[in-house]
Chains A and B, each alone.
Chain A
Amino acid sequence: MPLINARRAKRRGPRRFTSRDLAVIGVLLGIPILLDLALVWGPTLASIGLSFTNWDGIGDIQWVGIDNYKTLFTDYPPFWPAVRNNLLWVAFLGCVATPFGLLLAILLDKGVRFSRFYQSTIYMPVVLSLAIVGFIAQLIFSRDQGALNAILANKDNPVDWLGDPELNIWMVLLAAAWRHTGYVMILYLAGLKSVDPSLKEAAAIDGASETQTFFRVVLPTLRPVNVIVGVITVIEALRAFDIVYAINHGRNGLELLSVLVTDNIIGEASRIGFGSAIAVVLLAVSMGFIVTYLVQELRGGKKG
């Protein structure tokens, strides 16, 4: 009995809102919720619905069941290459760019001189739009006048870095990693600054090597940052769009799911139903990660 009373009292505590308070909450909480539901979640549901139709954007909406998905999986050549490229994107950012960003953060966190300079230059690419990154990639990798072929001095037999469908995805990944590394570095740098130095000292006194200290003491305390970085990495990889669109509209080896969606929806064909089906596939994969992440967050939040 007393327990219940206590809980009731606690619940009643913060609920003593005046009518003015309620009005403020209603308006200022209501607007963002409405916006979010109307412009983000509503359209998401609508997209799922449209993916079962053959709508062309103008005529009547006809229900076609799972036809779009059948075509997509069996009879749409660019689909599987796009899936493969998106996965490659996840793997490359996750296994190369992210650890590299972490390494840079660790080194900069040692408090070396000029660290402000290093930090700024490495972060610089992050503030550029991906459209610009795509263009700069062309300056470097283009076949005839690009800087890379000039450095390699293979003028007689130039490599077509962006035109060769076997090669270009790697060059684009390099360009994407160029931006991703700086972003990851800043996030980890912020996280590392917050690690209690006495923890590291205690580990050092106990005779742990710096590597041991890092993996056993520092990395576990970085868990919240790790989770954020992980989600950002995956989501950015799945959402990748601007950079390949700027280079060659995502064709010839640079297919991505996001590009296929855009092509079908905005392009002249305007196969909105079909484009939505691709979007839903993208959504399903993203949701897998989003839900895993949120479950993690929830557990962490309860523990904390």
Chain B
Amino acid sequence: MTITRTAPVRTAAPVTGTGKRRVSRGRLGLHAFLMTVSLAFLAPLLLAIYASLRPYEETAKYGYFSLPRHLSFDYYAQAFNDSGMGKYFINSLIIAVPGVLLTLFLASFVAFCVTRLRMRGGLVLLMVFTAGNLLPQQVIVTPLYVLFTKINLPYWMSDSMTMYDSYWAVLAVQVAFQVGFCVFVLANFMRTLPEEITEAARVDGAGVWTQYWNITLPLCRPALAALATLQFTWMYNDFLWALVFISDGDKLPITSALNNLRGQFFTDYNLLAAGSVIVALPTVLVFLLLQRHFIAGLTLGASKG
């Protein structure tokens, strides 16, 4: 293991210069190294999937790292039914989907104002947003909790009649917190767009909205796609905000549903493994489907800077 780890690094240096044989050998070592790392990174996930397919009695007796005797999808059905995952999944989507859209919309406009309109104080604005996103979440939790219990909402918006214990609370915090990150990335991206495009539009009499919505935003599509995947993952995976701002168990997002699978005195880890796989599936799928956009977005953002 250690040999394959260090070898390609050392051989990597002379690869380009020297003869063909060295090249193929270096490449082979490189593949061996990358394959080892990939498998090492994948192994824990495979173990979790493997554990989820085996009955508890078996792993309790022989350990998780043993040959299978029975394999079944029973735990998936049980995890899905016992913890009411369908409902919690909807809860997560209720927060994450509008959250991502709102965050991207607001952040892109702020970034547009800062980079394209050359507003005075733009840099300060950028710093306020960026720094805000870097604050530890625990710092703002308590005052927000107090604030949300004091804000009353009509019944049609929240059955608790307050902002506390409603989706609105989590949604608002997610948007406020994540706008900072998106402003930062989008401002960097927009700086790389040629100035002439908006200037020409301005000469033609285009207003701020047209310059933003019809001209700048379409050019930001790759960055927006990258941010959308990242933001969806983060909002979907969050559990601190929901833990603090929601008390009604039925409104919790899916990450906290995992806790329902934890017994008070005895925890069936294989059941929990099945639950984890179900919870992880959407983000893994989103990443695999959108990874082309995702990496293209990050690359394009950096390329012209």
Residue ranges of A at the interface with B (Cβ–Cβ < 8 Å): 14, 17-18, 20-21, 24-25, 28-29, 31-33, 35-36, 38-44, 46-47, 50, 57, 103-104, 107-108, 110, 112-114, 117-132, 135-140, 142, 144-147, 149-151, 178, 181-182, 186-187, 189-191, 193-194, 204, 209-211, 224-225, 231, 235, 238-239, 241-242, 257-258, 261-262, 265-266, 272, 275-276, 279-280, 282-283, 286, 289-291, 293-294, 297-298, 301, 304
Question: Do A32 and B179 form a contact, CB below 8 Å, given A112-B34, A282-B136?
Answer: yes
- Tell me the smallest distance from the CB of B240 to a CB of chain A, in Å: 7
Asked whether B197 is an interface residue with its Cβ less than 8 Å from the other chain, the reply is no
Query: 8 Å CB contacts to A: which residues of B94-135?
Result: 106-107, 109-110, 113, 117-118, 123, 125, 127-132, 134-135
- Tell me the smallest distance from the CB of B109 to a CB of chain A, in Å: 4
27 A-B residue pairs with CB within 8 Å? A18-B207, A21-B209, A24-B209, A29-B109, A35-B172, A39-B144, A43-B144, A44-B135, A44-B139, A47-B142, A112-B27, A117-B38, A118-B35, A122-B37, A124-B284, A127-B284, A129-B283, A136-B47, A190-B298, A204-B16, A224-B305, A235-B134, A238-B136, A261-B141, A283-B136, A298-B127, A301-B123
Asked whether B272 is an interface residue with its Cβ less than 8 Å from the other chain, the reply is yes
**Contact in complex: A282, B64 (CB < 8 Å):** no
Q: Supply 13 further A-B pairs (C-beta < 8 A) apart from A140-B47, A279-B142.
A: A39-B173, A40-B132, A44-B140, A47-B143, A127-B233, A127-B287, A135-B276, A146-B65, A150-B63, A178-B41, A182-B41, A189-B299, A282-B139
**Contact in complex: A107, B33 (CB < 8 Å):** yes
Chain A proximity mask over B139-154: 1 for CB below 8 Å, otherwise 0: 1111110110000000
Which among B37, B202, B233 has the greatest number of chain A C-beta atoms within 10 A?
B37
- Tell me the smallest distance from the CB of A213 to a CB of chain B, in Å: 10
Interface of A is mostly: helix
Chain A proximity mask over B4-47: 1 for CB below 8 Å, otherwise 0: 00001100111110000000000100110111011101101101
Asked whether B176 is an interface residue with its Cβ less than 8 Å from the other chain, the reply is yes
**Contact in complex: B64, A147 (CB < 8 Å):** yes
Q: How many angstroms between the C-alpha atoms of A172 and B42 in the bound complex? A: 17
**Contact in complex: A186, B298 (CB < 8 Å):** yes
Interfacial chain A residues near B291, Cβ < 8 Å: 119-120, 123
Chain A proximity mask over B174-214: 1 for CB below 8 Å, otherwise 0: 01110110010000100000000000001000011100000
Q: How many angstroms between the C-alpha atoms of A132 and B238 in the bound complex? A: 11
* Those 9 A-B pairs whose CB atoms lie nearest each other, nearest first: A129-B237, A150-B65, A190-B298, A46-B143, A43-B143, A43-B140, A39-B176, A194-B303, A147-B65
Q: How many angstroms between the C-alpha atoms of A297 and B131 in the bound complex? A: 12
- Tell me the smallest distance from the CB of B270 to a CB of chain A, in Å: 9
Minimum CB distance partner of B276 in chain A: A132
Q: How many angstroms between the C-alpha atoms of A117 and B45 in the bound complex? A: 16
**Contact in complex: B138, A36 (CB < 8 Å):** no
Q: How many angstroms between the C-alpha atoms of A47 and B140 in the bound complex? A: 7
Q: How many angstroms between the C-alpha atoms of A40 and B176 in the bound complex? A: 7
**Contact in complex: B33, A121 (CB < 8 Å):** no
Interfacial chain B residues near A104, Cβ < 8 Å: 34, 37
Interfacial chain A residues near B60, Cβ < 8 Å: 145
Interfacial chain A residues near B107, Cβ < 8 Å: 32
**Contact in complex: A39, B172 (CB < 8 Å):** yes
Interfacial chain B residues near A121, Cβ < 8 Å: 38-39, 41-42
Asked whether B269 is an interface residue with its Cβ less than 8 Å from the other chain, the reply is yes
CB-contact partner of B15 in A42, A43, A210, A276, under 8 A = A210
Q: How many angstroms between the C-alpha atoms of A282 and B65 in the bound complex? A: 40
Interfacial chain A residues near B42, Cβ < 8 Å: 121, 124
Query: 8 Å CB contacts to A: which residues of B219-270?
Result: 233, 236-240, 243-244, 255, 258, 269
Interfacial chain A residues near B65, Cβ < 8 Å: 146-147, 150-151
CB-contact partner of A127 in B39, B137, B139, B283, under 8 A = B283
Q: How many angstroms between the C-alpha atoms of A130 and B283 in the bound complex? A: 13
**Contact in complex: A286, B134 (CB < 8 Å):** yes
Interface residue total, chain B, C-beta cutoff 8 A: 100
**Contact in complex: B33, A145 (CB < 8 Å):** no
Asked whether B55 is an interface residue with its Cβ less than 8 Å from the other chain, the reply is no
Asked whether B302 is an interface residue with its Cβ less than 8 Å from the other chain, the reply is yes
Interfacial chain A residues near B175, Cβ < 8 Å: 35
**Contact in complex: B143, A290 (CB < 8 Å):** no
Q: How many angstroms between the C-alpha atoms of A193 and B129 in the bound complex? A: 28
Interfacial chain B residues near A117, Cβ < 8 Å: 38
Interfacial chain B residues near A32, Cβ < 8 Å: 106-107, 109-110, 129, 176, 179, 183
Asked whether B295 is an interface residue with its Cβ less than 8 Å from the other chain, the reply is yes
**Contact in complex: A265, B280 (CB < 8 Å):** no
Q: How many angstroms between the C-alpha atoms of A28 and B66 in the bound complex? A: 58
Asked whether B279 is an interface residue with its Cβ less than 8 Å from the other chain, the reply is yes
Interfacial chain A residues near B279, Cβ < 8 Å: 129, 132
- Tell me the smallest distance from the CB of B122 to a CB of chain A, in Å: 10
**Contact in complex: A112, B272 (CB < 8 Å):** no
**Contact in complex: B64, A31 (CB < 8 Å):** no
Interfacial chain A residues near B79, Cβ < 8 Å: none
Interfacial chain A residues near B237, Cβ < 8 Å: 127-131
**Contact in complex: B8, A107 (CB < 8 Å):** yes
- Tell me the smallest distance from the CB of A250 to a CB of chain B, in Å: 12
**Contact in complex: B63, A29 (CB < 8 Å):** no
CB-contact partner of A147 in B47, B128, B144, B288, under 8 A = B47
- Tell me the smallest distance from the CB of B230 to a CB of chain A, in Å: 9
**Contact in complex: B272, A135 (CB < 8 Å):** yes
